[in-house]
Structure 1
Amino acid sequence: MALIPQSFIADLLNRVDIVDVVGQHVKLKKAGANYQGLCPFHSEKSPSFSVSPTKQFYHCFGCGAHGSAISFMMEYSGLGYVDSIEELARSAGLDVPREERAANDVARQQQAMALSEVMSSAADWYRQQLKGNTRAVEYLKGRGLTGEIAKRYSLGYAPDGWQGLEAVFGPYSNDEVAKTLVEGGLIIQGEQAEGAPVKRYDRFRDRVMFPIRNPKGQTIGFGGRILDQGEPKYLNSPETPLFSKGNTLYGLFEARQAIRAQEYVLVCEGYMDVVALAQLGFPNAVATLGTACTANHVRMLLRQTDRIVFSFDGDSAGQRAAQRALEACLPLMSDDKEIRFLFLPTEHDPDSYVRAYGAPAFEKVIKEAMSISSFFFKIASEGHELTTPEGRAHTHHAAKPLLLSMPPIALRTQILRELAIRTNTTPAELEAFCGLTVVPAPVQKQAYQPTQARSQNNFSNTGNRQGAPWQASKGSAKRVAQNIEPPKAPTDLAEQMLRVLIQFPHLGKALDGNKRTLALKAAEQRSTKAHALMQDLLSQCDLVELVPGDAGKPASVGAGSFAMFQDQLSRSELAPLYEVLRKRVMDSDLDLDGAVADLDGAFKKLELTHLKQEMTEITQRLSGGTATEQDRARYRELGEKLKFS
């Protein structure tokens, strides 16, 4: 396989300016040393999307999107890695070199280019035929489609003839022409009887044509819908060097911007569903192409959005299709993704449902669609009686391969616990049955090290191993002198909280007094500089101005206020430490939901640690005979709290 040299990729990134690349798609304004604009990857009213010309890097402080010019092309345009490099190279006037280009690679590329030109010419011809065919136009109008939608999806018409495409490509008797058209799936070549001429004829005849486009907008195949009665009602292009059903979603090219704007994608079962929904105000719909949903389909969608809603008919075929979609999704799940399953009444498809009940009703059923966990339980327990041992065992048997297919994420843990409750089993028993039980490694106690030494081990990539920016606090030196074991609060929580507050200062503004005290104690335990930065950071968080969010969404920090927040910290005495942490923020993929979860998790750990410390102190007084009645009451109170922690 031909490889692109890494040296060329590095040179390409040096030649292109990320501000120019992003600026072609996002309106950017200068903001200090960087540029800012509205993030193209999530819906927002105040700009949180930053582009650094010096670092040639972009980062969104709202959704966490980040990367180089190549990753921007991949995420924004939906291109693959190689295609993104080639697109950037063309814009820079460069030819992409290849290493180890074999002759068959060159032949495949030439074949793909020839097929691409043929498909484009066929799509243009079908589109022209639609304009002159009253019957096809009336059919589309009868389905409620306007000329604007027909143009957006480049709809066409294949005339009712056997050699219609000869008008574009010449006689099918020309073997070279026929070979390319057969490879592209546009014509069919029949078996040749001895001594008889070869029979070649159009695959698509008397059908409304739906061009299928790749992420670059190139036509790679077609779907055809018959106008009158006949079978098959829908006819797809066959698998070709350009077109693979398991790797292609109809309408994704047209829907990309709407998917980002709506923040979810609706997956339907057919071409007409997609086009009709776009006409009815749901332009964020795509469709699988007469095949089951595959893992590649799911990967493509999750690159566009964190939320997928599958829409299926309520009949048995729809249930089977939904189960295959579930099986494709589970291995790719993560805790920041949301996947739902919508089952419409058997007499309706999405198009007819919207026409019967209106767009608001359809939006409502989308929001109420079944969660992936609920569908998991439905599939695992379907046909099994949970009131009997046999039924519960059958449910475990059905659930096992689904659980094993999932990565070790929090959702898997929650599903397993819920399934254990439903089947009157303990989570440990269910884990053991599924083979998910992990025996923890024995914990080895390490000798206590001064904070400075631990800082060098844990933060050695800061570029400063001599105590800066993390330095041992006076308290730690005193503990070493007295040979007293330090508190067990996880010291990495200080950095975790600092990084969250640097990226999302409005979360710091909302902290109450108790949580601020916990945050300062954790930072103090890390180092004097960490404690000072936490104090400074919380003070600056209080000064940021919040911009109200959209309906049902939290407020965020205004662009000007955020720039001032960064500027103040960059000018402080603690700027070196702040810059180290800010760089890590830029290199992370933390989004707002993840930040909230990280912050909540840190405070829960700190609160638990302090409860245990207090309980230990009371225990010592109890064993020494110096405990008071208040100590005993507090001991019981702490015991209850720790039991439910």
Structure 2
Amino acid sequence: MFKIRKISSEFVKDLITTTDIVELIQSSINLQKKGKNYVALCPFHHENTPSFTVSKEKRFYYCFGCNVHGNSIDFLITYKGIGFIEAVKELSEINGLDIVYEDLSDYHIQKDNQKYRCYQILKGINEVFVDSWKYRLSYAAKKYLKERGLNQKMIEHFSIGFGSFLESKMKEKLVQINDYLYHLQSVGILRVDKKGKYSNMFHNRITFPIRNIRGVVVAFGGRSLNYLHPKYINSPDSIIFKKGQFLYGIYEVIKECCNPPKLLVVEGYIDVISLKQFHINYAVAILGTSLTKDHIKMIFRFTSSVVFCFDGDKAGYSAAWRTLNTIISHMEDNRQVKFMFLPKGYDPDKMIREEGKAGFERRIEESQLLSSFLFNRLKKKIDLSNNEGKAKFSTLVYPIICKIPGYVFKKCMFNELSRIIGVPIREKNTKGNLKKDSIRNFLEIRRSNNQSRTILLLIKLLVRNPNFANLFPNFSISGYRDTRLLGTKLFVKIFETCRNYPNIDTHRLKERFRNDLLFKKFEEISKNYDFFIEKDIEKKIFEDAILHLISFALDKRLDFLISKERKIGLTIQEKQEVSNITSRKMNDSYKVCSKTLRYFNL
């Protein structure tokens, strides 16, 4: 079978280990030594006090201000705005290493080649569209953009073009690509009628290239200059483009600031460009679809705060309500969502030209929080002056609040519902219906009992100090897999990994679990639970927490056996087990240092 090369994952791990991350980052920003680590003003967000920390020992960087973090490859990708392959190549050159490759199958070869040709096609077509401004055919398009108030700087910044399909220019750009007509059709540039005749989908349209987060053109949007055709169109879905997965303008936003304080989501391309012209550098647009889970994932990948902008008419409020119902199940405690409604007859472009940047940003600041919009919208529809209205209000709001994953936010919302109707409202206990140790369960650590917080503490300490697993060489953890403690499954996996690889360090451990969904959730949750443990007592805390876990597991097992004894009696082996557990719990070596654990509310 024919093979194609792919960068070896083992080589990537070795490359990260080999790279001096301090030296790498020092070449881009000014680092100052502070103890074992190095600190600097974060290059990814504005700050006056250094919160960006680099650990040479752990080969890792972290910003306590914006939470950006990663290894040497991540730094190059984020700081320079390059792709993974480019970052690996640059690090390899720095370290004088030859890249090691592994083989791919025919299926992946065909798929990768097809994607590559699509990228080539769209890059060439974008150049043709931009180049079309030189010709007379573009006069009407130039006039339209001028009337809309867009200056030349913005036209160039967003690579706006004109879709007058110049056959000679197209061939000149694309003739070297095999089957370029087929690929032009596959990415939605050409359409073919029943007679087999090709036509340019973006003919006589102003074109807006849609880019992925690396800046690569994946599709186009087009604005018609007459009323004979739909005003706006987008490229159809293809092997490299799905409308529900992209945000127009996101590349331009993160190119200036990879972790913006907030994102403003608007409706159209022109809105994004006009806002940028007035120095609103954080606007993006959804591409003619409703908000999707992929949109939400992309938004919260780069920021924790988002404002959705809508028209102030009935359709705008309906769209906002759909957005609320989509995003509510993604509302973690560290996230904020607001809704901004413009006066009737205004869009962001018209509004900012009339009020200027200061006035427009004042509207953003005064926009409604998600919680306010939820309660206020339903209050207008229901008479709360009687008990029937209050009951109906509760039945409408309750299921929406139950979708919220953030414990504190959910609790606050239930408290507000209780205040409005004058009746204490609590979430129904549905733990019995949840799949044991699922990701959803793991999120419950925020509101779970003290034992689950113990698990969170153990994971945090073990990741920070993998060698702690060697403190309990004879500790059998098989008996603790089924304790129903949230997070136990992840702790067991990490503990076994650390014990099986005695020399593993924090960086390699994180790399090993990099794609583990439970581990990702742990990292997300642990940001809100920094236990501030001094280095010199970490070992003692870990030992006490392990003993706490053992004690809890023994209690659970003992309770089960006692309950069984009362119902149907025990076998001889089970009676012996009760005796062993009782003796073990009386042994001083398994008593937990309660004073230490109480310090962490465990």
TM-score of the two chains, using structure 2 as the length reference: 0.67
- What pairs with 1:35-434 in structure 2 (closer than 5 Å)? 35-72=38-75, 84=84, 87-89=87-89, 91-92=91-92, 95=99, 97-98=101-102, 101-132=104-135, 133-159=138-164, 165=170, 168-169=173-174, 176-192=179-195, 198-258=196-256, 263-381=261-379, 383-428=381-426, 431=428
- What pairs with 1:413-492 in structure 2 (closer than 5 Å)? 413-428=411-426, 431=428
Equivalent position amino acid for 2:312 in 1: G
Equivalent position amino acid for 1:84 in 2: F
Conserved 8 A contact 1:39-1:47? yes
Conserved 8 A contact 1:266-1:284? yes
**Which segment is superposed worse, 214-223 or 176-185?**
176-185
1:392 is displaced (CA, Å) by 3.0
Conserved 8 A contact 1:39-1:49? yes
**Which segment is superposed worse, 374-383 or 313-322?**
374-383
Conserved 8 A contact 2:332-2:404? no
2:279 partner SS: coil
Rounded to whole Å, the distance in 1 between the matches of 2:188 and 2:356 is: 39
1:72 is displaced (CA, Å) by 3.6
Equivalent position amino acid for 1:65 in 2: V
Rounded to whole Å, the distance in 2 between the matches of 1:40 and 1:300 is: 21
2:213 partner SS: coil
Equivalent position amino acid for 1:136 in 2: A
Query: Which residue number corresponds to residue 536 of structure 2?
Result: 577
Rounded to whole Å, the distance in 1 between the matches of 2:401 and 2:56 is: 45
Gaps of 5+ in 1: 193-197, 445-454, 468-573, 584-604, 610-645
Equivalent position amino acid for 1:282 in 2: I
1:261 is displaced (CA, Å) by 7.4
1:279 is displaced (CA, Å) by 0.4
Query: Which residue number corresponds to residue 583 of structure 2?
Result: none
Conserved 8 A contact 2:44-2:257? no
Equivalent position amino acid for 2:421 in 1: T
1:416 is displaced (CA, Å) by 1.2
1:74 is displaced (CA, Å) by 6.1
Conserved 8 A contact 1:75-1:304? no
Equivalent position amino acid for 2:342 in 1: L
Equivalent position amino acid for 1:141 in 2: K
1:355 is displaced (CA, Å) by 1.2
CA RMSD of aligned residues (A): 4.1
1:58 partner SS: strand
Q: RCO greater where, 1 or 2, for CA within 8 Å and sep 6 or more? A: 1
Conserved 8 A contact 2:331-2:406? no
Query: Which residue number corresponds to residue 452 of structure 1?
Result: none
User: How far does the alpha carbon of each residue in 1:135-171 deviate from its partner, in whole angstroms, 9 at most, with x for none?
Assistant: 3223222222221111111111112789984564469
User: Is the alpha carbon distance of 1:68 and 1:379 closer, same or farther for their aligned partners in structure 2, counting shifts above 3 Å?
Assistant: farther
Rounded to whole Å, the distance in 1 between the matches of 2:147 and 2:217 is: 26
User: How far does the alpha carbon of each residue in 1:103-126 deviate from its partner, in whole angstroms, 9 at most, with x for none?
Assistant: 222111000000000000001111
1:406 partner SS: coil
Rounded to whole Å, the distance in 2 between the matches of 1:57 and 1:422 is: 48
User: Is the alpha carbon distance of 1:410 and 1:108 closer, same or farther for their aligned partners in structure 2, counting shifts above 3 Å?
Assistant: same
Query: Which residue number corresponds to residue 517 of structure 1?
Result: none
Conserved 8 A contact 2:260-2:303? no
1:457 is displaced (CA, Å) by 13
- What pairs with 1:8-27 in structure 2 (closer than 5 Å)? 8-19=11-22, 21-22=24-25, 26-27=29-30
User: How far does the alpha carbon of each residue in 1:571-617 deviate from its partner, in whole angstroms, 9 at most, with x for none?
Assistant: xxx9961787999xxxxxxxxxxxxxxxxxxxxx99x99xxxxxxxx
User: How far does the alpha carbon of each residue in 1:460-503 deviate from its partner, in whole angstroms, 9 at most, with x for none?
Assistant: 88667999xxxxxxxxxxxxxxxxxxxxxxxxxxxxxxxxxxxx
Conserved 8 A contact 1:312-1:342? yes
2:248 partner SS: coil
**Larger Rg: 1 or 2?**
1
Query: Which residue number corresponds to residue 588 of structure 1?
Result: none
1:350 is displaced (CA, Å) by 1.0
User: Is the alpha carbon distance of 1:432 and 1:117 closer, same or farther for their aligned partners in structure 2, counting shifts above 3 Å?
Assistant: same
Equivalent position amino acid for 1:114 in 2: R
1:115 partner SS: helix
Q: Percent identity?
A: 31
Rounded to whole Å, the distance in 1 between the matches of 2:540 and 2:148 is: 56
1:427 partner SS: coil
Equivalent position amino acid for 1:413 in 2: K
User: How far does the alpha carbon of each residue in 1:533-565 deviate from its partner, in whole angstroms, 9 at most, with x for none?
Assistant: xxxxxxxxxxxxxxxxxxxxxxxxxxxxxxxxx
User: Is the alpha carbon distance of 1:295 and 1:104 closer, same or farther for their aligned partners in structure 2, counting shifts above 3 Å?
Assistant: same
User: How far does the alpha carbon of each residue in 1:510-545 deviate from its partner, in whole angstroms, 9 at most, with x for none?
Assistant: xxxxxxxxxxxxxxxxxxxxxxxxxxxxxxxxxxxx
User: Is the alpha carbon distance of 1:381 and 1:72 closer, same or farther for their aligned partners in structure 2, counting shifts above 3 Å?
Assistant: farther
Rounded to whole Å, the distance in 2 between the matches of 1:28 and 1:328 is: 42
User: Is the alpha carbon distance of 1:344 and 1:434 closer, same or farther for their aligned partners in structure 2, counting shifts above 3 Å?
Assistant: farther
User: Is the alpha carbon distance of 1:167 and 1:139 closer, same or farther for their aligned partners in structure 2, counting shifts above 3 Å?
Assistant: farther
User: Is the alpha carbon distance of 1:31 and 1:169 closer, same or farther for their aligned partners in structure 2, counting shifts above 3 Å?
Assistant: same
1:303 partner SS: helix
2:247 partner SS: coil
Conserved 8 A contact 1:127-1:154? yes
Gaps of 5+ in 2: 435-443, 452-456, 472-532, 543-597
Conserved 8 A contact 1:78-1:304? no
Query: Which residue number corresponds to residue 541 of structure 1?
Result: none
2:39 partner SS: strand
Number of residue pairs matched?
458
1:292 partner SS: coil
Rounded to whole Å, the distance in 1 between the matches of 2:425 and 2:161 is: 56
Rounded to whole Å, the distance in 2 between the matches of 1:146 and 1:387 is: 55
Rounded to whole Å, the distance in 1 between the matches of 2:448 and 2:57 is: 45
Rounded to whole Å, the distance in 1 between the matches of 2:458 and 2:266 is: 54
User: How far does the alpha carbon of each residue in 1:232-251 deviate from its partner, in whole angstroms, 9 at most, with x for none?
Assistant: 11111110111111110000
Rounded to whole Å, the distance in 2 between the matches of 1:184 and 1:442 is: 53
